[in-house]
């Protein structure tokens, strides 16, 4: 029963992805899609594909560095296999959390060190989030005159605020210990289980 509870969310996401893809492809006219691809600038498409690939290469090496920092020493081939599985599920599940879940389970079962593996995946995500906030803040700093929609400012403020709270909780010993006390209290059973 416990295995079913763990597998059910993944199966549900896969089913939702299949339904969404089927719905999406029914809405797209195949002839017009092919015409758009034929008329696209091939050089720019290739450049975009190369940049997209390089981003994944940098992310792979970032995660490998985090694994080494956690004293999890694996061959590059093993890390690539796990990372590629995560990318596959990121692309075909409705959220990117599915890929993180898959690579966490894959390496956790392989290394028998689930806490450390999950911590590296979390820090990998967090470093990407820090990068997102930095890019958003620089874009706002240099292009604030171009922003017409006020919801953009609100979005930047919200993602920056969330990052500040996360970093404060993780790197401030007082706040971290207080939240740990709350999560390990007998009344926090459901919250702790959900997290």
Tell me the pLDDT tens digit for each residue of 54-69: 999 999 999 999 999 9
Is 4 a member of any domain? no
Q: In terms of pTM, does the model score above 0.75?
A: no
Mean of per-residue pLDDT scores for the chain = 85
pLDDT at 168 over 70: yes
Last residue of a domain, one of 111, 128, 146: 146
Domain count, the chain: 2
Which pLDDT belongs to residue 66? 93
Judge residue 58's burial from the number of C-beta atoms within 10 Å of its C-beta, 0-12 exposed, 13-18 middle, 19 or more buried.
exposed
Which pLDDT belongs to residue 102? 84
Q: 107 and 58 in one domain? A: yes
Q: 62 and 156 in one domain? A: no
pLDDT at 12 over 90: no
Q: Which tokens sit at 100?
A: 């993180």
Which pLDDT belongs to residue 50? 96
Residue 12's alpha-carbon distances to 19, 94, 120, in angstroms, are 11, 10, 26
Is 12 a member of any domain? no
Which pLDDT belongs to residue 135? 93
- Rounded to the nearest 10 degrees, the angle between the axes of helix 150-171 and helix 173-183 is 80
- State mean pLDDT over 9-28: 78
Q: 54 and 130 in one domain? A: yes
- State mean pLDDT over 168-186: 84
Is 23 a member of any domain? no
Tell me the pLDDT tens digit for each residue of 131-141: 999 999 999 88
Q: 152 and 138 in one domain? A: no
CA distance 188 to 193: 8
Q: 72 and 142 in one domain? A: yes
Candidates 109, 108, 102; CA nearest to 70 is 108
Residue 111's alpha-carbon distances to 22, 88, 118, in angstroms, are 37, 21, 12
Tell me the pLDDT tens digit for each residue of 34-48: 888 888 888 998 999
CA distance 170 to 89: 28
Which pLDDT belongs to residue 188? 74
Tell me the pLDDT tens digit for each residue of 24-33: 778 878 788 8
Average the pLDDT over each of 42-51, 94-103, 146-155 and give the range with the smallest value: 94-103
Which pLDDT belongs to residue 148? 82
Is 24 a member of any domain? no
Which pLDDT belongs to residue 2? 64
Q: 142 and 78 in one domain? A: yes
Is 28 a member of any domain? no
Q: 96 and 130 in one domain? A: yes
Q: 154 and 127 in one domain? A: no
Q: Which domain holds residue 139?
A: 41-146
Q: 128 and 100 in one domain? A: yes
CA distance 125 to 139: 21
Judge residue 122's burial from the number of C-beta atoms within 10 Å of its C-beta, 0-12 exposed, 13-18 middle, 19 or more buried.
middle
- State mean pLDDT over 160-183: 88
Q: Categorize the per-residue pLDDT at 78 as very low, low, confident or very high, splitting at 50, 70 and 90.
A: very high
Q: 136 and 73 in one domain? A: yes
Q: 190 and 109 in one domain? A: no
Q: 139 and 158 in one domain? A: no
């Amino acid at each position: 029963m416990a295995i079913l509870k763990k597998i059910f969310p993944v199966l549900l996401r896969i089913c939702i992805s299949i339904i969404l893809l089927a719905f999406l492809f029914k809405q797209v006219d195949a002839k017009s899609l092919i015409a758009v691809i034929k008329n696209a600038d091939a050089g720019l498409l290739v450049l975009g594909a190369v940049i997209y690939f390089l981003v994944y290469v940098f992310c792979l090496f970032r995660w490998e560095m985090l694994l080494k920092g956690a004293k999890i020493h694996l061959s590059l081939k093993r890390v690539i296999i796990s990372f590629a599985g995560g990318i596959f599920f990121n692309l075909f599940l409705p959220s990117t959390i599915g890929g993180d879940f898959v690579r966490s389970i894959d390496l956790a079962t392989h290394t028998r060190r689930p806490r450390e593996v999950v911590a590296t995946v979390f820090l990998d995500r967090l470093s990407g989030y820090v990068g997102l906030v930095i890019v958003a803040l620089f874009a706002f700093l240099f292009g604030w005159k171009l922003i017409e929609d006020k919801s953009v400012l609100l979005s930047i403020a919200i993602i920056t605020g969330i990052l500040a709270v996360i970093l404060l909780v993780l790197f401030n010993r007082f706040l971290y210990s207080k939240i740990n006390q709350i999560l390990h209290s007998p009344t926090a059973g459901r919250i702790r289980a959900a997290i």
